Structure 1
Amino acid sequence: MLTLYSYPQLFGVADNNGYGLKVYAFLKLAGVPFAHKHIFDSSGAPRGQLPYAVDDGKEIGGSDAIVTHSIEKYRLTIDAQLTLRQRDMSHLIDRMLDDLYWVMSYSRWKDEQFRPAFLAALLREHPNLTEEGLLKAQEYNAQRYYYQGIGRYSPPAAYARGIADLQVLANLVPSTGFVHGPKPTSIDAAIYGFIANIYFYEIETPLRTFVAAHRNLVRHCTEIHDAVAN
Structure 2
Amino acid sequence: MLTLYSYPELFGVADNNGYGLKVYAFLRFAGVSFMHKHLFDASAAPRGQLPYIMDDGETIGDSETIIAHAIAKYRLTIDAGLSAAERRTNHLVTRMLDDLYWVMSYSRWKDERYYPAFRDAFMAQHKQIDAAGLDKAKAYNAQRYHFQGIGRYTPEQAYARGLADLQVLAEIVPAEGFVHGEGPTSIDAGVYGFIANIYFLPIPTPIKAFVDTHENLVTHCETIHAAVGGA
TM bin, normalised by shorter chain, reads over 0.9
1:1-230 aligned at under 5 Å gives the runs 1-229=1-229
What is the CA distance between 1:25 and its match in structure 2? Answer: 0.2
Cα distance per residue 1:192-222 (max 9 Å; x no partner)? 0000000011011000000000000000000
Cα distance per residue 1:100-128 (max 9 Å; x no partner)? 00000000000000000000011100000
How many residues are aligned here? 230
For residues 34 and 49 of structure 2, the distance between their equivalents in structure 1, rounded to whole angstroms, comes to 20
Cα distance per residue 1:78-102 (max 9 Å; x no partner)? 0000011100100000000000000
Cα distance per residue 1:144-169 (max 9 Å; x no partner)? 00010000011111111100000000
Secondary structure in structure 1 of the residue aligned to 2:4: strand
Matched AA of 1:67: I
For residues 215 and 133 of structure 1, the distance between their equivalents in structure 2, rounded to whole angstroms, comes to 37
Question: Which segments of 5 or more consecutive residues in structure 1 lack a partner in the other structure?
Answer: none
Cα distance per residue 1:128-148 (max 9 Å; x no partner)? 002221111111100000010
For residues 186 and 124 of structure 2, the distance between their equivalents in structure 1, rounded to whole angstroms, comes to 32
Secondary structure in structure 2 of the residue aligned to 1:113: coil
Matched AA of 1:102: W
Moved over 4 A (4+): none
For residues 226 and 134 of structure 1, the distance between their equivalents in structure 2, rounded to whole angstroms, comes to 30
Cα distance per residue 1:159-180 (max 9 Å; x no partner)? 1110000000000001111111
**Percent identity (aligned):** 67
Question: Which segments of 5 or more consecutive residues in structure 2 lack a partner in the other structure?
Answer: none
Cα distance per residue 1:37-74 (max 9 Å; x no partner)? 00010000000000000000100001011100000000
Aligned-residue CA RMSD in angstroms?
A: 0.6
TM value normalised by structure 2: 0.99
Matched AA of 2:100: L
Secondary structure in structure 2 of the residue aligned to 1:36: strand
Secondary structure in structure 1 of the residue aligned to 2:139: helix
For residues 121 and 60 of structure 2, the distance between their equivalents in structure 1, rounded to whole angstroms, comes to 30
For residues 172 and 191 of structure 2, the distance between their equivalents in structure 1, rounded to whole angstroms, comes to 11
For residues 106 and 136 of structure 1, the distance between their equivalents in structure 2, rounded to whole angstroms, comes to 15
